[in-house]
Each structure stands twice: as C-alpha cells, then as structure tokens.
Amino acid sequence: MFALDKKDARLLLMVAVLTMLAPFILNPFPAGSEMAQFNAGYPDLMQRFVIFGIFAIGFNILFGLTGYLSFGHAAFLGVGSYSAVWMFKLLSMNVLPAIALSVVVAGLFSVVIGFISLRRSGIYFSILTLAFAQMSFALAYSVLTPITGGETGLQLALDDPRILDVAASATGNIPVPGLFGLEMRASTNLELGPWVFTFNVGYYFSALIMLAAFYLAIRIFRSPFGMMLRAIKSNQQRLNYTGLNARPYTLAAFVISGMYAGLAGGLMAAMDPLAGAERMFWTASGEVVLMTILGGAGTLIGPVLGAGFIKYMENIISKINESILHQWFYWLPDGLEDFVVAMIYPFIGKGWHLTLGLLFMAVVIFLPGGLVEGGQRIGRMFGRKKSEEKDKPSGKTTPAE
C-alpha cells in the first residue's frame, strides 16, 4: 500500500485510524461528570496535537536520523507563522496559499542557517542554531516591528488589501481562514447520551496534512537517503574516509526538517491568524526536543506520541487545582485530606512542569528509546508469556523418534 511494506503500511493505517477517530478516543468520559476534565477532544487541543506532531516529525528527521541536535528549530516555526499571516493580509484568506508560502519561506530560511551552522558539529552546531533562533526572536520582537508587529504580534486588520478576497465579512468583521469557503473554525457536535463529540474542520484539515507528512517521513526513513543519514549518525568520520561528502546530506535533512517546522507554523496561523515572536523563543525549540526524546528519537511514531503527551499535560493536567483535588479526596478525614492534597498539588496545576521533568528523567534513564521502547518492552513481555504458555507440556506423551 502506497509503496510501503506491510509493517509500515500497518503503522500508517493505525495512525490514520487514531487520528480520524480522535474526537471519540479523546472524550472517554461523559460531559458534566467529574472525570470530564480529563477529556481532550475539543478542537483547539486536537489541532495542537497534530500540528506539534508535524513539528516533531520534522525535527526527528534531523535529530533522529543524523544525530544533529538543533536548539533553534522554533525560528522556522515562527517564520512559517509570519509568512502565513502576511499571505492572509495581502492575498486571500484561503489557507492553501498561506501554508505553501510558509513552507517555502521556512525552507529558504533553513538553507541559510543550515549552510552556516553545519560547518560545525556536536555542541557547536547546537549553540549556533540556538544563537540564530535567538537572533530571529530579537529581530521579530523589536527590530522588524513593521513586519512582525513586535511585542503585540502580527494580526489581521480590516484595512488589509487582500487582493483576491474581501477585506471584511458580510457582518463587517475580519474574515476567518477557510478552504474554498469552508471555515477552519466550523464545528459540528454529535450528542450520544451524556457524551458530546466535536468534529472540527480545522482539526481534520490539519490531521490530513499530518498523515501526509507522516507518510513522507516513512518514505524518507526507508529510502537510500535515510540510510545515508543513519550512516552519518553512526560514524561520520568513517563515512568521510570512504570519499563521501556528508554535508549535502545533512543540509538536505536540515532543510526538510525546517520545512516541516514552517508547515507547522503555517497551520498554527491557519487555525488562529496571529503570529508572535514568542513562537521563536528558545523554549519552543526546547519543547520539540523534549517531544522527540520523550516519544523516541529515531522512531517513526515516537515524536507524535511525545507531542501528544506533552500537550495533554500542558492543557489538561495543568488545569487541576486544589479545589478539584479536594473534590476527589473529600471522603478522607479532614486532616488526612489536606495532607494528601498538599502532597499532590506541587506536581499538577502550575507545577505540571515538575512532573514532566521527573518523567523525562525517568525515560532518559530507564527507557532511552522513549515511549516507543516502553511499548515494545510491554509487547515483548506479553509475547514471552504467550510463548511460555504455548511451550508448556500438555501432559500427553508422544513416541520418541
């Protein structure tokens, strides 16, 4: 299927099914119940899952295959967002030209940064990419204010020219991004008893693009180009001794990774037409590093899992406060209830970063392959149990040969 072997085809099909059924999977608890706060099936969060999944997939092509650790990939995310918003302001509110421009501009930007940064390797490469990202942040925040909007960010306005589209909607408001008249923010609710499932146009549009990006990543991983990138990660010096120049391959991987980041930035602007300098800050670059390592660097589905895990904690676990904890443990004696809440609260709510840090440390120490390795270990454990049960003597004797 799609020129993939059976294993990769099954993986792609599994990701497609999970993505398409996300409104059901992410809303396991009835609306209005105490557990409903753990539901994540609302449009804004589902969009973040797939958009940051694209960002992490692209970063994994560079870091997971070549071993080059970039601390400046947020620069391409921000450039993609700014490009998309400018396309909305100047041309049309159709998301396709905006996303195309964000990918192209991010690709050109990554060629320049990659050409300079890849003259060094190891920690020096990482510091160079971080420096470029921080310079980009500083330029967007202050120097290039007429282009980027500075501290307030780049926003749409009623006086924007929009050559191929209307400057204002029929109600006199700023038009919203759409796809040939179908608004990205349009949603439909399906009520099944106490459950409410939301189907959002913007989410499914982003999800289809993520599936295409995931398929392209599979083809890159399985291609001769991907094998060359693995050789660079394994031993670049030995590769140079063979007479092969590794720099064109690493630059290509860097540019592809930057274009993925630009695509993610364009999709962020398509879902919410606003671009700010904070998307280029070093913390955004560190976040995608965490996503990739937590999920499993060098694996196909790992970065997607890592992105979903971190965004779930950021948006769901961070909202649990002391009053919610008291509702959970109301059945305990008053003194014990207060003690339990005091022990748990530092790890949730505003302290969710502490929990994430502890989990990240545990993964790095005990699961170097990330969440994917954890799943593989569990699968092997159950597979071993089944094989042991199968190999147990049944009590029947068979004649010797």
pLDDT in tens, 59-76: 999 999 999 999 999 999
Look at strands 182-183 and 195-200 and give their pairing. Answer: unpaired
Mean pLDDT of 270-282: 90
Q: What is the pLDDT of residue 401?
A: 37
Decide: residue 248, CB within 10 A, 0-12 exposed, 13-18 middle, 19+ buried. Answer: exposed
Q: Which residue has the tokens 């606003």?
A: 274
Whether 124 is covered by a domain: the verdict is yes
The DSSP H or E segment spanning 154 is strand 154-155
Q: State pLDDT tens for residues 157-208.
A: 888 888 887 777 777 788 889 898 889 989 999 988 888 899 999 999 999 9
Question: Amino acid identity of 66?
Answer: T
- Tell me if 241 is assigned to some domain: yes
Report if residue 345 sits inside a domain.
no
Helices (H), 272-315: 282-295, 302-315
- Confirm whether 333 is domain-assigned: no
291/370 Cα distance (integer angstroms): 10
H or E stretch at 389: helix 370-391
Q: Give the helix ranges, DSSP H, for 139-246.
A: 145-148, 201-222, 224-241
**Domain membership flag for residue 69:** yes
Tell me, yes or no, whether 156 lies in a domain.
yes
Domain that holds residue 221: 6-21+39-280
Q: How confident is the model at residue 349 (pLDDT cuts 50, 70, 90)?
A: confident
Task: Provide the whole-model pTM.
Answer: 0.91
Number of domains in the chain: 1
Backbone angles phi, psi at 249, to 5 degrees: -70, -45
The whole-angstrom separation of Cα 4 and Cα 300 is: 14
| Residue 324 lies inside a defined structural domain of this protein | no
Residue 307 within any structural domain of the chain:
no
Q: What are phi and psi of 37, to 5 degrees?
A: -70, -15
